Amino acid sequence: MTRETRETPAEAFRASHPASAIDLPYAGIPTFLDADHRDVGELEGYDAGVLGFPYDGAVSNRPGARYGPRAVREASGWWAYLSGYKGGLTNMRTGESVDFGDLAVADCGDVPVFPMDHETTAESIAAHVATVAERALPVSIGGDHYCTYPAFRGFAEGAGHDDVGLVQIDAHTDTVSESPLFGREFHGSSTALIADSPYADFETVSQVGIRGYESPEFLEFAEETGLNLFAMPEVDDRGMTSVIEEAVAAAGDGTDAVYVTFDIDSVDPSVAPGTGTPEPAGLSASQALAAMETLGAHEAVGAVDLMEVAPTHDPAGNTSRLAANLLVAFLERKFAV
């Protein structure tokens, strides 16, 4: 046996210890759900491609979302570990069985960002999401919510869609068209920019979980533009599943596909404190998971992102764990049950 073909000591050890194949949730090189690492142009055979946007140069309050993609990836290892260790899992919320090893998900790493240049960063995000969208469902992890605008545009262009609806789960509307302090392009303007793009308008935008304070004329603005508004009191009164079903239907009416954006500040800060602009009286973890489970089951949904996780504001890591679970719940419903 030559040196090139003989079994190495490492191979011999792994062969004699089958448990070596189990990846611990805190070990190894973190990819989302311990998925294969692939270039954005090499996604043949994969259902979804994960991208990170480590950028928070467009925030209006606390920075830190640049660290979100890495933290969410690390947290997602827990579900891959459990599935590998137990040989599949039963989701006790839904009663469904799932083996995350069956999910054909690739992690394409982080897109190049330019901390002092939001325009070039936006071009980078759009180009990379478009490349994924030509081949698989884009799953994006932010990063501040400004990143959703170029990601939405990249999805539409890459997937070849003329019209794309938006389901936005958020504490804030992000409909500022021009700020005297922050200008036109920041994380408070992403939905305005999307509605002003060639691919969308406010009539196919659904906003879920909105609370706190907006401009004095916002309710009149929503009525005049046809924006589909489901504020937090309506979610509490009707239940999340009913609201999300209506929100998807409105966003999908007359469009080619629906893009989902989930801002983690939609969740109550007692549950998810690791974000830049926390607002009290938000979603519970159960409501947030119900939203993503429902969205994952809809054929119209063709892309998803999760934004504004700022792990430096949550030393316990609860926000990152919930964020990872939300994406896992979406992908599980989309591809594995």
Q: Per the annotation, does 56 bind a ligand? A: no
Dist. CA 206–CA 250, nearest whole Å: 7
Inter-residue contact 276 to 63 (CB < 8 Å): yes
Dist. CA 293–CA 197, nearest whole Å: 28
Q: Per the annotation, does 34 bind a ligand? A: no
Q: Kindly state the helix (H) or strand (E) to which residue 142 belongs, with its residue range.
A: strand 137-142
Interior CA angle at 23 toward 19 and 24, to 5°? 105
Rounded to the nearest 5°, which phi and psi values hold at 167?
-110, 115
Which two structure tokens, joined as six digits, stand for 238? 């009707």
Between 118-133 and 148-159, two packed helices, what is the crossing angle to 10 degrees? 40
Given the structure tokens 């021009």, which residue do they identify?
178
Residue 21: which residues within 8 A CB-CB, separation 6 or more? 14, 84
Q: Per the annotation, does 298 bind a ligand? A: no
Q: Per the annotation, does 305 bind a ligand? A: no
State whether the Cα torsion 242-148-94-319 is positive or negative.
negative
Interior CA angle at 159 toward 65 and 152, to 5°? 30
Strand order, beta sheet including 205-210: 36-37, 105-110, 48-53, 137-142, 301-307, 257-263, 164-169, 205-210, 228-231
Q: Per the annotation, does 145 bind a ligand? A: yes
Which two structure tokens, joined as six digits, stand for 101? 């090893």
Q: Per the annotation, does 172 bind a ligand? A: yes
Between 68-86 and 318-331, two packed helices, what is the crossing angle to 10 degrees? 60
The binding site comprises: 145, 170, 172, 174, 263, 265
Going by the annotation, the residues of the binding site for Mn(2+) are: 145, 170, 172, 174, 263, 265
